[in-house]
Structures are given as C-alpha cells and as structure tokens.
C-alpha cells in the first residue's frame, strides 16, 4: 500500500495551546501519511495528544489552540493554510469524523434520516427528497435493519450499536477521501464492538477511504488497522505495519503497553502483568533527553542527554529508541512468571441461592391500563464463593451483573432468594445489617471520582471504615491508615491529599485501601479498572492479585473486559438476561466446549496480536428488554447455534462436566465440542498479511 | 402523551381541591367569627346570631365547605361583603385585565430575552455577554416599585410619552387601553427579561459544547444552520419551561406593579379584598390564581413534551 500516493500527508505538525501558564506544545513534530483504503491506528495513553492531533489535522481546535508549524496535505490541498470559510467546505465533504460517544453525537431532537441527509444536501447539492433517499441507502450500506423505519426515528429510540452505524453512515454519505474515527467503539459492548469493527473493515475496502483510527485499545488496533503509530506525550515513538510492530515491538513504550494487556490464555496464577511506572510528562515538563526515559527500563545515560530522532529501523518501520538493537535481541515475553500456587479450596464465604430482583415497571394509571409488569434484572442466580477466590462475572451491559452485586451488598433489596455470609443469614437491605456484617462485605466502584468525597483528604476516606466498623482508637486508626496506604503502594504524604490532587489510578488505589480498611471477607469490584489507562489497569490488577494473596479476601469481580476477568478470576460466571448460562473455572470457560453465548463473547474479544485469527461469531442485534424475556432459552433470539423449536419453547437443562464446569444449553456437551473445535486461539499461518 | 396529559389533569384537580380546602380554612375559620367581621365590632349578639344562621355558619365544617365549593363550581361565587355585588363578574373582569397585561409583557420580554440570551451565549465571556448578563441580573434584582417609579418619572412625567396612571376604563377596548398598558408591561418585562435571557444563555452554552454540535460543525454545515437546527432546537427547551411557568406569576403575582400604576388587575383585587376583609373576593381571586399557576405549569410540561421527542415519541 505504501507505493500508492497518500491521501493525507502530515509533516512536522506541532500544535500549541495558549494557557495561563504559557504555551503548551501538546503535539510536537508529528509526521505521518495515510494511503487510500488504509486504516492507520494511532494509539497511546490518555494525555498522549491523540485527539489533539486529530483535531489539529482537520483544523478543529479550540480558540486557544493553533498549529505552530507543519504542513497538512490532503490530496494536494494544504489544510494548514486554508481560511476558516474554506476549511468549512472541506469538513463533511472531503474529511469526516466518527466520534466516541454515539449517544451524545446525534442531535436528540432531529430525525435520524435528516441528520444523515444534511451533509449531502450542503455538499452534494441534493434536494430534500434525493438526500432522504440516499440517507436510506446509506443506512442499508451499514447493514441497518429496517432502514426506512430507522430514518424516521430519533436517537433515543436506537441502541448504542445502531447509533454508531448511523454515525458511520453519516460519515460515509459524502464519500470523503479521509475519515477520522476517534475511539468509535470504546462506548460499546464487546459483542457490538466486534460487529462494528467488521463493518468498518468491509466498508473501507469498498470505499477506499483513508482512515485515522484513534484508540487506546491495542486489541482493536490489531484487529482492524494496517499500520500503527504509537504516540507518547505528543510525539511518535514507533510507527510501522501492524504485524511488524506487534511482532518486534521495537520501542520500550510499545512493549510496555502490550505487556500491560492481560492475556486470554494466562492468568494471575502464572504471570504478573508488566506495568509502566510513572506518568506521562506534561508538555511543559518534558525531560531533556528521550521523553520516555524516566519510565523506561532500558534507560542508559546517553538516553537522558539527547532526544533521539524517529528513524527507519526496518522496512517502513520507524522507532525513536536508541537501543533498538538491544530490544531486538531481548525475548518478546517481558512478563514475569509467577510461582504456581498450589490450589487449596478455602472455606465457603458467601452462598447466594436463587437470587431474584424484579423492578416494578411504572405504577399509577399506566399500570392500570397496561397491567403490572416487572423488569427481571436478576432472575434466579445462585453463586458460591470461597476465601482467596475470585469469581468473575461477565455479560453484556444490561444483563444484570451489577444488580446481582448490589443485591449481595444489600444496596439493592433482592426480591427473593437467600444470602448467607460465613454461614450467617443476611438481611436483604444494607440498612438492616449489623456493623459486624457490614464490615465483611466491601465494594470498589467503577468511578473513583464519584466514590470519594471531594472535600475530604484521601486518608479520611480510608479512616472512616476503621472508626465506624472496627471501633479503633485514634492512634490505631492513624497507624492502620499508614499501613493501608503502603499496602496499595501510595506514599504516606498522599494521606493528606484531596481527591482532585490524585490521578485516576491513585484514586482507585485509595478506594481499594478504603475497602480493605474494613478487613472484609468479600470484596465486590464493579468494573474497578474500566475507566483507566492500560498501564494503570495492569498495575491495579497486580495490586488486587497481591492483596488477595496476603489477605485471603474473596473477590466478586465484574467487568465487561473479558481478558481482565480471565486474568483475575479463578471461576467465571456468564450472565445473560438475568440468568446464569455457564459457570466453571477460568481455564475451562475459556476453552471449548462452551455455551454459545460464551463462545460469541470470546470470539469478540479484541486480542492484541494480529497474527491470531479468531472465530468470527457475531451476535445479531442487542440484548432484548428484560421486560419481555424470550420464552424457552432466553438466548434463542440471538443464538448462532440454535437447533430448532425446542430452543424457543423449553428451558434448557444444566449439563455438568468435570471440575464443576456447567453449561445450560439444549445442545449436548459432546456436540458442542465437535461444533466448537479447537477454540478461541488459532495462530494464523506464517504469512500474516491480510 | 395523551395518557400523560390526562394524569396531569387529574393532579391539577387534586391541587385545586387541596388549595380550596386551605383557602376555605384560612378565610372562614382562622381569623375569628365571620359574622362579627361582617357586622363590625358594635353589632348586637342577636344580629350576629341571625347572620350566622343566614350564612350557614352553624352547620358542621364539612357542610359549610361543601356548600361553598359546590356554589363555586356552579358559578355562584357569592356576593361581595362590601359592595353587595356578585363576585364573579368583578373577578372575571380583573382576570381579563391581567391577561391583557400578561400578554403584552410576554410579547416584549420573551423574544427579547431569547435574542439577548443567544447573543450572550455565542459571545461567551466577551464584552457583549458581560454587558447582557450584568444588566439582566441587575434588572432581576431591581424591585418593581423602584423600576416602576423610575419609568414613571422619566417616561411619563419627564418625557410625557405615556400616562403615569394605568387605572383603565373597564369598558375600553384593547387598543384604547394599550398606551396605559405599556409602562406596567415594561416594568414587568425588566424582571422577566433577566430570567429568560439567563436561562437561554446557559441552555445555549450547554448545547454549544455538546458532542452533536461539534458533529454538526464538522459536517461542514453553514453556521446559521448549525445554530438553528442543532443548537437552538435543543437549547430553548428549558427557556420554554421558564416562560410557561411565568404565566402564573404574570396573572396573580404582579401585586407591586399593579399597585405602582394603579392597574386594576387580579393581584390588586386580592390585596383590596384582604384590606376590606371581603371574604368571597379573597376566596375567588385566590382560587383563580391557584388555577393560573397550575395550568401554566401543565402548559409548560405539555409544550416541553411536544418539543422533546424523548417524551413525545417515547422509548
């Protein structure tokens, strides 16, 4: 592809923000080219300047941001010098953008069809009728079911996946030369993400558009991109063809990022995730030498003296590391092996039987007219947990994962069922549980910003459970807070800091310290790492694994990130529409035979290795409403392995296997085994070119 | 949506019922003996007993309430204790005057407030915004008796453009009364303007920063189209609510303004009734004010629902 004339040619682009503290050069000297039909993946942690770069390329910067140097050539037009009026003509016709949050990117009070047609009317000069017709065609192109109907709908009537299709249809409608996709699948479920990525791949080869694909997710890059650029603190560190970069990883930062991602074929028992120490430097506090030097494990004196240039180190493969030769000889695996723990079943900590949680759906007059209905968020789930044991719960959003956790914690009162903690019967509601019971179950929430009091120092949040639940004296509390901060690897002076003085990862460490302060026997972690960068995720997962090793706490770990669940969990439960469909040890759940739903989830995981070819099992549509649960097997409406009428009418039986692995499906185990073959991970042949 | 309106109407009748109970209790029971109030301090016991019998004051409380409420629903709102005239025509005429004043004030401050609010939002934190926000805030804070007197001093007495007193002739047609209406309407508008402008400004700033506005701009649409179809369509929703809810205030809450100009509106009737302890006037006028507030709230919700597809079309 490199021999074709590039559509986009960015040379030495530097973008500067004027701030109160002086100019901030957020993106510095970035050059890259993208050919027609090529998908260029730009990856980096938050704060690396990905989005600023993309907005700068299309000249959509806030009023205090400007391009200080550089040329941006779009098929010969220099975008950097266009007037504001001229660039407006380029937007929407030659360059289009797909944004991260499809829900927020679509005008809520305008019909979908009109929003797709709009750009075509302005740029292609179509009249209202033609544009409307073309909008429906575009919806058809992005495989939207019932395009005519969808065109006459509003944003709130469509699911996230459908809205992202609408955004793609809008962006493709004017047949642009160049398109920017800024984290287009980050807000979606893993299953929807897989479907959207397939769609983007197909459309791009058909339309021959050049694409700049921005994401923090290396797995997504591996699945969809042709080339990758790794951005760090506003500069390109490594660039090259996707297979080349993932195989050789010739920059320590790339290597670090990839080492952070948990693998689907290994867990905390065998490996510790590598994490990158320290933080991205701010553009006004850059180190004098290599900007990655302070966080690099290969650093030598020369690295800190002079900034190394980005040089070609292989066929169209660039890296800015001085020590490329050293990297070449090092083995690829940087992860540390962990001593295998001898499995020993601990005592049962939690036993939850037949938990149900029904939410009444609207009351008053509506209920009189339409009859009472309820949303069956959790419908008969039983789990058992032992000490030093992690149960991972996976499933798409809206399947009842969080509700189940909240019922166990008592934050939501279960409708029926029994919850026993260490043999003691628990009340449904947290407000009627004794302090001695409360201290035994603690929670870590997804968003540490919202779960820490912004007005009070971090140490206070950690001290609260000590005074409230453990009746410690003031002196004991002080001691214990210090120990806890040390346990979560935070320096002691952080005790007096306010939450806004901490980074996202540090806040989550405080939240974990708070949970451990109560000395719980069971900790519920509801998406504790989802909103954080990969390197931070890795260090938190290591921390959780470590703390479990010393404290023997049981974890209920909820996440939509299946690789993270695989890494941390001993057992995994697969939930769909409020029911359990498969449960077993992590090793068993991730290899066939598995439930068709598990199979679809697993085949959707974006694995950060372009040489792995996954099965392409894609689910149609989205999770049905829990108001109208399909009869028979609840999964039959989307099941790719449906066997017939029996799935629609009869509830499937539980099928037991060795090691307590259970699957709830009409298909017998042996048949599942033959259908599913070798399983998830298939290394592609030697080639590796798409 | 239909069901929703029906339910809201049900709640309005509940509100009106509760309000009528409170009004009845406050006026009939709390201040002492109604018959004594009517006949004055020096009436004989016999005369008071007679009147109590005549007014049904010896009956149990719930019967008294039912009699009163039943009469009210049938349109028999009683006679004024002072003038002995039927209350209903008096209240209705005053309501008419209030509606005239409210209508004119709305025509002034709503369009002006929206335009100023949008300008302020587009020029956020620049000079035009600071001027508009500062001045509109000052107007909100300025009491009506101050702004009213200033307007009278300069525009009526000083320049002589408008009459200083607005006690309009009950038989006058709308256009004949218009000159009398302008100063009171402007006075009211100064307050209303501030609310509308600030609401529009903050709503518009929110939407200008939204992802879908960014998406619309990056579609390369002309600036005017982005503003009208994407920004204003969403940013004016909260303004609509504020305006519709203001109608209740315009009809029943302009006591000070009406007093400053001597304008015969509903607010002043209420004050007049309280001063003379004219119970049927107080009861009828309060009920109308409660109804005005309730229905303008309903109007606000209905208009909001019609403009917002999330409510109009449902999920």
The 10s digit of each residue's pLDDT in A128-143 is 999 999 999 999 999 8
Contact yes or no for B233 and A107 at CB 8 A: yes
Give tens-digit pLDDT for A535-557.
Answer: 888 889 999 999 998 889 999 99
Backbone φ and ψ for A292, nearest 5 degrees, come out as -95, -10
CA distances from B50 to A110, A238, B58, B134 (A): 69, 103, 10, 62
pLDDT value at position A283? 86
Q: How far is B266 from chain A (nearest CA, A)?
A: 36
User: What does the alpha-carbon distance between residue A24 and residue A15 come to, in Å, rounded to a whole number?
Assistant: 8
Position A684 scores a pLDDT of 39
Using DSSP, state whether A653 is helix, strand or coil: coil
For residues B261 and A77, give the distance between their C-alpha atoms in angstroms, rounded to a whole number.
67
Tokens representing B53 are: 């019998």
- Work out the mean pLDDT of chain B and round it to a whole number: 86
* CA neighbours closer than 13 Å in the CB half-sphere of residue A678: 6
Q: Which of B7, B212, B233 sits opposite A364 (nearest CB)?
A: B7
CB contact (8 A) between residue B214 and residue A105:
yes
| C-alpha to C-alpha distance for A217 and A45, rounded to whole angstroms | 9
**Residue A371 confidence (pLDDT):** 58
Summarize pLDDT for A393-406 with one digit per residue, the tens. Answer: 999 888 889 999 99
Q: Taking CB atoms and an 8 Å cutoff, what residues of chain B touch A102?
A: none
What is the rounded CA–CA span in Å between residue A312 and residue A289? 19
Token output for A511: 């939240």
pLDDT at residue A460 tops 60: yes
Binding-site residues on chain A for chain B (CB distance < 8 A): 58, 60, 88-93, 96-97, 99, 101, 104-110, 118-119, 122-123, 153-154, 156-157, 167, 170, 364-366, 369
**Over 90: is that where the pLDDT of A612 sits?**
no
pLDDT of B52 reads 78
Distance CA A439, CA A587 (A): 32
Task: Examine the pLDDT at A686 and tell me if it is beyond 60.
Answer: no
Residue B107 makes CB contacts below 8 A (sequence gap 6+) with none
The minimal CB distance from B7 to the residues A91, A93, A365 is found for A365
Whether B216 sits inside 8 A of A107 (CB atoms) is yes
Chain segment A617-673, per-residue pLDDT in tens: 888 877 888 778 899 999 999 999 999 899 999 999 999 998 889 999 999 999 998
Q: Specify the range with the lowest mean pLDDT, choosing from A220-229, A301-310, A325-334, B193-202.
A: A325-334
Contacts of A96 in chain B (CB under 8 A): 218-219
Instruction: Walk me through the domains of chain B, giving residue ranges and CATH numbers.
Output: 2-74 (no CATH), 91-308 (1.10.3720.10)
pLDDT digits (tens, 9 = 90+) for A177-232: 999 999 998 888 888 899 999 999 999 888 999 999 999 899 999 999 999 999 99
- Give the chain B residue whose CA is nearest to the CA of A90: B220
Hey, are the CB atoms on A154 and B309 less than 8 Å from each other? yes
- Residue-level pLDDT at A225: 95
Instruction: For the full predicted model, state whether its pTM sits above 0.90.
Output: no
H helix or E strand, kind and range, residue A358 = strand A348-361
Tokens of A442: 């603690």
R_g (Cα) of chain A, nearest Å: 26
- The parts of chain B modelled with pLDDT lower than 50 are none
* Alpha-carbon gap, residue B11 to B29, rounded angstroms: 26
The first and second tokens of residue A197, run together, are 């990525």
* The predicted structure's pLDDT at residue A688: 32
Within 120-139 of B, beta carbons closer than 8 Å to A belong to none
In our burial notation (b when 16+ CB lie closer than 10 A, e otherwise), range A11-32 reads eebbbbbeeeeeebbbbbbbbb
Please report the pLDDT score of residue A687 as a whole number: 33
Phi, psi of A527, rounded to the nearest 5 degrees? 50, 55
Residue-level pLDDT at A581: 95
* pLDDT at A70 exceeding the cut of 90: yes
Q: Give percent above pLDDT 90 in chain A.
A: 55
Q: What is the predicted pLDDT for the residue at B110?
A: 94
Q: Which residue has the higher pLDDT, A267 or A61?
A: A61
Closest to A156 (Cβ–Cβ): which among B7, B216, B310? Answer: B310
Q: Does the distance separating the beta carbons of A90 and B220 come in below 8 Å?
A: yes
Give the separation between CA B82 and CA B280, rounded to whole angstroms. Answer: 10
Cβ contact, residue pair A123, B220, below 8 Å: yes
Mean pLDDT of A501-528: 91
Dihedral, CA atoms, A281, A282, A284, A287, nearest 10 degrees? 0
CA distance A638 to A618: 9
Å from B217 to nearest chain A CA? Answer: 8
* Residue B216 touches partner A, C-beta closer than 8 Å: yes
Q: Could you give the maximum distance between any two Cα atoms of chain B, in Å?
A: 87
A156:B315 CB<8 A: yes
- A105 neighbourhood in chain B, CB within 8 Å: 211-212, 214-215
Task: Kindly determine whether residue B309 and residue A108, on different chains, have CB atoms separated by under 8 Å.
Answer: yes
Q: What are the residues whose beta carbons fall under 8 Å from the beta carbon of A537, sequence distance 6 or more?
A: A260, A529, A564
Contacts of A181 in chain B (CB under 8 A): none
- The structure tokens listed for B187 are 């006075």
Cα–Cα distance, A404 to A524 (Å, whole number)? 11
Average pLDDT over residues A58-66: 91
What would the two tokens of residue B292 be?
A: 């005005």
Interface test with A, best of B206, B208, B215 (most A CBs within 10 A): B215
Sign of CA dihedral B153, B157, B163, B164: positive
* A118 chain-B contacts, CB cut-off 8 A: 216, 219, 221, 225, 229
Q: Is the dihedral of CA A54, A56, A59, A60 positive or negative?
A: positive
Q: Where are the beta strands (DSSP E) in A47-98?
A: 65-74, 77-78, 95-98
Contact by Cβ (8 Å): A602, A680: yes
A167 has pLDDT over 70: yes
């Amino acid at each position: 592809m490199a021999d074709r004339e590039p559509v986009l040619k960015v040379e030495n682009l530097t973008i500067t923000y004027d701030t109160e503290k002086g100019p901030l050069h957020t993106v510095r000297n970035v050059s890259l080219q993208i050919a027609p039909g090529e998908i260029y993946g730009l990856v980096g942690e938050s704060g690396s300047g990905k989005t600023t770069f993309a907005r700068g390329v299309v000249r959509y910067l806030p009023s205090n941001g400007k391009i200080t140097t550089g040329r941006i050539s779009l098929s010969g037009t220099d975008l950097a010098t266009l007037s504001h009026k001229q660039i407006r003509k380029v937007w929407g016709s030659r360059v289009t953008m797909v944004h991260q949050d499809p829900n927020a990117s679509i005008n809520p009070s305008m019909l979908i069809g009109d929003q797709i047609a709009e750009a075509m009317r302005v740029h292609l000069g179509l009249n209202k009728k033609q544009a409307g017709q073309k909008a429906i065609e575009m919806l058809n192109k992005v495989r939207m079911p019932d395009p005519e109907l969808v065109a006459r709908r509003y944003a709130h009537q469509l699911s996230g996946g459908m809205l992202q299709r609408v955004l793609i249809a809008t962006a493709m409608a004017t047949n642009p030369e160049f398109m920017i996709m800024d984290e287009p699948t980050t807000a979606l479920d893993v299953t929807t993400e897989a479907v959207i990525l397939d769609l983007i791949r197909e459309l791009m080869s058909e339309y021959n558009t050049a694409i700049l694909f921005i994401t923090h997710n290396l797995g997504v890059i591996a699945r969809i991109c042709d080339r990758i650029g790794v951005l760090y603190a506003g500069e390109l560190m490594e660039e090259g063809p996707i297979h080349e970069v993932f195989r050789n990883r010739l920059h320590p930062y790339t290597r670090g990022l990839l080492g952070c991602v948990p693998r689907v074929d290994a867990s905390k028992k065998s490996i510790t995730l590598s994490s990158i120490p320290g933080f991205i430097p701010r553009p006004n506090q850059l180190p004098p030498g290599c900007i990655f030097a302070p966080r690099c494990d290969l650093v030598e004196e020369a690295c800190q003296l002079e900034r190394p240039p980005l040089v070609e180190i292989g066929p169209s493969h660039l890296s800015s590391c001085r020590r490329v030769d050293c990297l070449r000889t090092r083995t690829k695996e940087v992860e540390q092996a962990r001593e295998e723990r001898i499995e020993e079943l601990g005592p049962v900590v939690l036993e939850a039987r037949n938990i149900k949680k029904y939410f009444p759906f609207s009351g008053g007059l509506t209920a009189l007219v339409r009859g009472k209905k309820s949303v069956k968020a959790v419908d008969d789930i039983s789990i058992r947990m032992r000490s030093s044991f992690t149960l991972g719960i996976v499933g798409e959003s809206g399947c009842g994962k969080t509700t189940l956790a909240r019922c166990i914690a008592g934050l939501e009162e279960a409708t029926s069922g029994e919850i026993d903690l260490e043999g003691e019967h628990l009340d449904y509601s947290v407000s009627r549980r004794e302090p001695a019971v409360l201290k035994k179950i603690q929670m870590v929430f997804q968003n540490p910003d919202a779960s820490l009091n912004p007005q009070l120092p971090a140490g206070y949040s950690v001290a609260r459970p000590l005074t409230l639940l453990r009746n410690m004296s003031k002196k004991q509390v002080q001691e214990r807070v210090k120990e806890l901060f040390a346990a979560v690897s935070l320096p002691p002076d952080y005790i007096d800091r306010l939450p806004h003085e901490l980074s996202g990862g540090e806040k989550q460490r405080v939240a974990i310290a708070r949970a451990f302060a109560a000395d719980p026997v069971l900790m519920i972690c509801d998406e504790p790492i989802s909103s954080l960068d990969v390197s931070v995720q890795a260090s938190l997962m290591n921390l959780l694994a470590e703390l479990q090793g010393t404290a023997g706490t049981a974890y209920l770990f909820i996440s939509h990130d299946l690789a993270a669940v695989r890494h941390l969990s001993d057992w995994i439960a697969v939930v769909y529409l409020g029911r359990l469909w498969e449960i077993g040890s992590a090793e068993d759940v991730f290899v066939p035979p598995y439930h068709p739903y598990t199979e679809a989830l697993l085949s959707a995981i974006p694995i950060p290795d372009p040489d792995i070819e996954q099965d392409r099992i894609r689910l149609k549509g989205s999770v049905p409403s829990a108001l109208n649960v399909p009869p028979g097997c609840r999964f039959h409406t989307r099941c790719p392995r449906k066997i017939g009428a029996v799935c629609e009418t009869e509830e499937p039986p539980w099928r037991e296997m060795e090691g307590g692995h259970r699957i709830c499906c009409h298909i017998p185990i042996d048949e599942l085994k033959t259908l599913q073959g070798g399983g998830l991970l298939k290394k592609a042949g030697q080639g590796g070119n798409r | 949506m239909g069901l929703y309106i029906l339910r809201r109407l049900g709640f309005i009748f509940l509100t009106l019922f509760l309000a009528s109970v409170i009004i009845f209790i406050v006026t009939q029971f709390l201040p002492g003996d109604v018959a004594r109030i009517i006949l004055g301090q020096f009436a004989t016991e016999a005369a008071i007993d007679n009147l109590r019998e005549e007014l049904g004051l010896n009956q149990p409380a719930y019967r008294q309430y039912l009699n009163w409420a039943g009469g009210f629903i049938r349109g028999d709102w009683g006679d004024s204790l002072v003038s002995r005239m039927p209350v209903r025509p008096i209240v209705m005429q005053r309501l008419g005057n209030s509606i005239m004043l409210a209508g004119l004030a709305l025509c002034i401050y709503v369009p002006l407030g929206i335009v100023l609010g949008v300008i302020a939002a587009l020029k956020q934190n620049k000079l035009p915004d600071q001027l508009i926000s500062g001045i509109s805030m000052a107007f909100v804070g300025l009491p009506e008796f101050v702004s009213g007197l200033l307007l009278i001093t300069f525009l009526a007495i000083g320049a002589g453009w408008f009459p200083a007193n607005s006690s309009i002739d009950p038989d006058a047609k709308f256009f004949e009364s218009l000159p009398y209406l302008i100063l009171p309407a402007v006075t009211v508008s100064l307050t209303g303007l501030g609310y509308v402008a600030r609401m529009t400004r903050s709503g518009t700033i929110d939407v200008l920063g939204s992802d879908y506005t960014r998406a619309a701009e990056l579609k390369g649409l002309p600036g005017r189209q982005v503003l009208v179809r994407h920004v204003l369509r969403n940013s004016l929703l909260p303004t609509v609510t504020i305006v519709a809810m203001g109608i209740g205030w315009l009809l029943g809450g302009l006591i000070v303004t009406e007093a400053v100009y001597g304008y015969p509106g509903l607010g002043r009737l209420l004050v007049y009734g309280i001063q003379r302890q004219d119970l049927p006037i107080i009861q009828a006028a309060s009920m109308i004010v409660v109804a005005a507030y309730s229905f303008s709230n309903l109007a606000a919700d209905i208009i909001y629902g019609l403009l917002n597809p999330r409510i109009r079309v449902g999920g």
